[in-house]
Structure 1
Amino acid sequence: VIANWWRQGMAGGALAHYATVDSWLEDYTEDLKKITVPVLVMHGEADQVVPFASSVPRAVNLLKNGSLKTYPGYPHG
């Protein structure tokens, strides 16, 4: 997991990573409602960065054709 996070971090620019933080505060409700293609949402149930219960089920329900695959004990990333 640590090596994968390092790989992901090195694949992007510093400014892009920094700018992403502000996007966490945005409400994507209307954007999710507009997506019509099938979407597979995969999420670790032990994610402490994006807690599962407070975000994932709601996001999947907003998708017209969304399905969810969870991973018990898995963290973010």
Structure 2
Amino acid sequence: MAEELFQLYMDFPKEIREGRREIIASGNGIRKNRLMAEEIEKKFDMRLRFSDIEEEAAAGAAKAALDLLVQ
């Protein structure tokens, strides 16, 4: 998985990849799998960070619903 993600990243234009020093990750698949997180850091040679909110998809859905109600 780390290799596949890295290959997708390498397909991005160089201008987008330049100067990147860290990766922001989301999802419990990587958050709860320390081995996967370590492999991503090694493959990309960058620090991996997680958002402060653990349930990103649920939080995003709740925010979207709230935004619709407040309009």
Question: What is the TM-score of this pair, normalised by structure 2?
Answer: 0.36
Which has the higher Rg, Structure 1 or Structure 2? 2
Greater per-residue helix proportion: 2
